[in-house]
Amino acid sequence: MSPAVIRFTNITTEFLSAFWTPNVGTFKMLMHVKARHPKSEMEKHDLGRLVEDAASQGWEDLIRHILTIGAPVDGRSYLWANPLAEACERGFEGIVRLLLEHGAKIHDITLAAAAKGGHLNVVRALLEYGADPNQGEPLPIISAISRERKDMFQELLGYGASLAGQNGVEAVKKAREEGLESMLALLEEHGVDIRE
């Protein structure tokens, strides 16, 4: 690779890293400058990465803007590093709803991440958009038990979470391991056999 190409690549990489800002005004100014650059089109891959980064930082306004200029709502479409999973894990409800409104794909990890983090409003948003409460690792109902979140437990049941079979066994096991008598009582109220 020639020194000129290396220099151009470094400038391009450094310039793209400048786009990592929560300020929409700064982002727009950088896009204006980039339009004058010989390689003025920002590639979808770059925009996808920006959506992922903005989701992990909670930069809702920036996400809203870059989606309007063609950024892919699912980022670069990696299962673990996608904007929806990032926002779910961190509990950014506004971003989760924004991404879902723009058609983000719900994967098993998204609901599991939200439940594991104890983010009830995010769990609710995902369920409203069709997330399966019986998918993910750990199961969302197990996370609700582990966090002793009766409200989340009830919400998940309301959307069809199952306590039948192995799910019930795992739920009792988790409640016993963590000494959560209140959750054992709740499981028993819902027909789960809690006897040892």
What is the share, in percent, of the chain residues with pLDDT greater than 90? 61
- The mean per-residue pLDDT over the stretch 94-98 comes to 98
* 11 pLDDT tier (thresholds 50, 70, 90): very low
By C-alpha distance, which of 70, 48, 47, 58 is closest to 22?
58
Q: Is 22 exposed, middle or buried (0-12, 13-18, 19+ CB in 10 A)?
A: middle
pLDDT band for 99, please (50, 70, 90 cuts). Answer: very high
pTM of the predicted model over 0.95: no
pLDDT at 78: 60
Burial label for 189, CB within 10 Å (0-12, 13-18, 19+), is: exposed
Q: Among 50-59, 113-122, 140-149, 158-167, name the one with the lowest average pLDDT.
A: 50-59
Q: Determine the average pLDDT of the residues in 8-21.
A: 51
Point out the least confidently predicted range of 7-16, 45-54, 82-91, 109-118.
7-16
87/108 Cα distance (integer angstroms): 14
- Ranking 8-22, 47-61, 78-92, 113-127 by mean pLDDT, the lowest is 8-22
Report how far apart, in Å, the C-alpha atoms of 20 and of each of 50, 124, 171 are. Answer: 7, 30, 42
Look at residue 90 and tell me whether its pLDDT is greater than 90.
Answer: yes
Q: What's the pLDDT band for 181 if we cut at 50, 70, 90?
A: very high
Separation between Cα atoms, residue 120 and residue 156, nearest integer Å = 10
Q: How confident is the model at residue 69 (pLDDT cuts 50, 70, 90)?
A: confident
Total residue length of the chain: 196
Mean pLDDT lowest for which of 8-22, 67-81, 152-166?
Answer: 8-22
The pLDDT of 122-127, averaged and rounded, is 98
Grouping H, G, I as helix, E, B as strand and the rest as coil, residue 88 is helix
User: Residue 140, class by beta-carbon neighbours within 10 Å (0-12 exposed, 13-18 middle, 19+ buried)?
Assistant: buried
Residue-level pLDDT at 128: 98
Residue 153 CA to residue 156 CA, distance in Å, equals 5
Q: Enumerate domains of the chain plus CATH numbers.
A: 1-105 (1.25.40.20), 107-196 (1.25.40.20)
Give the CA distances from residue 151 to residues 67, 115, 147, in Å, rounded to whole numbers and listed in that order. 33, 11, 11
